[in-house]
Amino acid sequence: MLNWAGNLTYSATDLRRPATLDELATALEGSGPVRALGSRHSFNDVADTTGVHVQVDRLDDGRPAVDLDPATGVVSVNAGLRYGEVSRALHPQGRALGNLASLPHISVAGAVATATHGSGDANRCLAGDVVGLEVMTTAGELRRVTRAEHPDVFGGTVVSLGALGVVTRVELATSPTFAVRQDVAVDVPWETVLGSFDTLTGAAYSVSLFTSWAERSVRQVWFKSRVDDGVGERPEPLPGLGWATTELHPLPGVDPVACTPQLGVAGPWHERLSHFRLEFTPSAGDELQSEYLLPRRHAVEAIVALRRLAPRVAPLLQTSEVRTVAADDLWLSPFDEDSVALHFTWHPRGEDVAAVLPLLEEALLPLGARPHWGKLFALDPVALRELYPRFEDFRALAARFDPDGRLHGGYLRELLG
C-alpha cells in the first residue's frame, strides 16, 4: 500500500478497518507491531509499521460520528473523519472550528497527531482546538484524556505521533459559525513583505504567501477575512497592492476550479478557510512536501536566507507557502511560541529533493526551525528530539501507554530509540 503521494510503500503486512470497538480491540490483540493510519497524507514513514495498520474511518462506537454538546460547544468526532466532513456536519448546527488546513481531505486524528495547521497570527495549529480524546491502547483499554481532568499529561497526548495507541474520538472546541471572504493580492514586492511582514500577516484572519523564492515579487498573497452578517471590506493593509480580478490557483497556470471561492465573495467559514474544495480530490503522486516551523521573530531573517538559496531550491519547486501560527502548550508541537511556517511543494524528484533538504536545514535550524512531523526532512532523530524540551516526558508517557513498544515503527521507532 502506498501513501497519498505515492513516494512511500508501507511495510505493513495487513490493514484492518474495524467497525466496532470490540473489533478494534481484536485488531490490537497479540504481540506484533501495530500502528494507526489516517488519510495517508504523510510524506515520510512516521506512520509506518512492519505489522498491522489500523484505520478507524469505518468505526461506529454507538454515538453520532459528529456529536455536538450544545451546552459546552464541544464536538466529539470520529477520529477517522476528514476535516471537510466534520465541517459540513458542524456548520448547519451553528458552530465552527477555529481554523482549517489548506486541504480539508485530511483525517482529524492524523492532522492533530502531527501538529498540522492552517494560518493566522492568532490561530493555533489544529491540535490547539483539542480539549479531549479517546485512545485505545495496545492492551485493548479505551482511555479518555481531557485537558480539564488530566492537565499533567494532556499536553503529551494530543500531538502524539500515534505513539500512545489508536485514537477513536477527538473532542474539539468550537465557536459560533462565521462567514469569510477571500481576496488575493498579486505580485507583492519583496521590499513590502520584508519591511511590513507583521502588517501584512495581521491584515486578515488567515494570510498565506505563495512564492518560488526566485521571483522578483511574491506571486500571490491570500487574505481570508472574517466578515459580519456576510458583508465585509477587502483588507487594505498596505498601499499599492494589486488585486486579482480572476480566481487563481497557488500553482502558476493551473485551473483554479478546485480552489475555494475568491474575489471577495463571502461564504461559510468551511468553504473559505481551506485553499481547496472537499469535492475535488487533490492530486496524488504529483508532488512531495517539506515544511519547517520556526519562531516568528526570525521570519524575516529566514525569508532572506531562503531567497539566497533560490538558485538551488526554485528549480525543484512547484510553489512555496509562508504562513503564521499562534503558540500552544503541547509537548511535541513545534509552536511553543508564535511561529512562521515555511512550506515547500516539490516536484516529485525524490533524490534531488533529498539533496537540497540539508541546505535548507543548515540555513533554518540555527533560527530555531523544526520540521513538520509528517513531511520530508533530513534531520537526524537524535538531533530532532533534542529540539523539544518535553521530549523525555513524552517518551515516558509513551512507555506508560505502550510498555511493549508495539507502536514503534518507521521514524517513530528511531525517535523513541
Cα of first residue to Cα of last residue in the chain, in angstroms, is 26
Measure the CA–CA gap between 338 and 342, rounded to whole angstroms: 14
pLDDT in tens, the chain (417 residues): 999 999 999 999 999 999 999 999 999 998 999 999 999 999 999 999 999 999 999 999 999 999 999 999 999 999 999 999 999 999 999 999 999 999 999 999 999 999 999 999 999 999 999 999 999 999 999 999 999 999 999 999 999 999 999 999 999 999 999 999 999 999 999 999 999 999 999 999 999 999 999 999 999 999 999 997 777 889 999 998 999 999 999 999 999 999 999 999 999 999 999 999 999 987 666 899 999 999 999 999 999 999 999 999 999 999 999 999 999 999 999 999 999 999 999 999 999 999 999 999 999 999 999 999 999 999 999 999 999 999 999 999 999 999 999 999 999 999 998
* DSSP bridge partners of 342: 292, 322
Among the listed residues 87, 80, 89, 42, the one whose alpha carbon sits nearest the alpha carbon of residue 61: 80
Contact 169, 78 (CB under 8 A): yes
Contact 364, 305 (CB under 8 A): yes
Among the listed residues 85, 151, 149, 83, the one whose alpha carbon sits nearest the alpha carbon of residue 118: 83
Measure the CA–CA gap between 417 and 124, rounded to whole angstroms: 30
Measure the CA–CA gap between 80 and 65, rounded to whole angstroms: 9
Return the domain boundaries, the chain: 66-177
Q: Could you give phi then psi for residue 228, rounded to 5 degrees?
A: -100, 135
Among the listed residues 258, 277, 257, 289, the one whose alpha carbon sits nearest the alpha carbon of residue 371: 289
Residue 232, pLDDT score = 83
Q: With respect to CATH, is domain 66-177 assigned 3.30.465.10?
A: yes
Residue 281, pLDDT score = 80
